[in-house]
Amino acid sequence: MPHPQSPVPETGPEAVPAPNLDFESTTPYEDYIRASVLSQLQHPRSDDPGEMVFIVTTQVMELWFTVLVHEWETAARALREDALPVAMAALKRSVHELRSLNASWEPIAHLTPAQFNGYRSALGEASGFQSATYRRLEFLLGDKSASMLVPYRNVPRVHDELEKALHAPSLYDEVLRWLARRGHAVPAAVLERDVAERHTGDPGVEDVWQRVYAGDQDSEECRLGEALTEVAEQVWRWRNDHLVATRRAMGSKVGTGGSGGVAWLEKRAAKNVFPELWTARSRV
């Protein structure tokens, strides 16, 4: 006899097995995904119904940051081990993940100032630039600054993780080291620089990419360059979507957390990651 809580199995030549609905405790889905934990992490501080959307959207973004950090750390480690296929697979996955991250803006991208003001005070001094996971993401891209560790000085675990990331080679550092091992003339000053400093464009690195792009279009170097360019483009789109959403919601007012708001985001959006990949194109 079937269990009283189980569906009655179908019979006949086209019968489809019924799913198991009887478990001793929680479902395997819950054990694996922890959905009940995720659905209890939203605690609005205002009566505005739009705040719930804002919280969930931001939490989704944080989850995508976590995925991207995982992908780019995987790619960096693979390059360090000369495992280019593993690195390429991680980079290609991250492009799709970046597109999903960028799409996360959609629920809040069209807020009017009045709609945002309905719950803005609930944020207090909270601001996206305080996100520790996003900071790790930017460090991996080579956009480093020791000053960005200051917000976490009273949170030792987070501060230690970010300090470690600050002093570790970025994804782009590992790319340049891989190119050097392949015989490309990456300047010694670039390879030996303090990796805790922000990477800025270097003419010698631009020369390397110019030669790569002027050569065999199916070379491993060219395919890696294009994978990195896809990543960089999606990062640029993320920054610009953030800028536009903020401009629509609050104009040029001072941002939460005391940042310059739109002015701060405009400065960030004007910067390209992996800069020589862009400047070299003018010389091909």
Known binding site for substrate: residues?
A: 120, 256
Helix residue ranges per DSSP H, 121-254: 132-140, 156-166, 171-181, 188-191, 203-214, 220-250
Q: What is the 3-state secondary structure (H, E, C) of 107-156?
A: CCCCCCHHHHHHHHHHHCCCCHHHCHHHHHHHHHCCCCCHHHHHHHCCCH
Tokens 């993320």 — which residue? 238
Give which of 110, 102, 96, 98 is closest to 53, Cα–Cα.
Answer: 110
Identify the CA nearest to 193 among candidates 169, 212, 215.
169
The annotation places the binding site for heme at 242
CB 145 within 8 A of CB 174: no
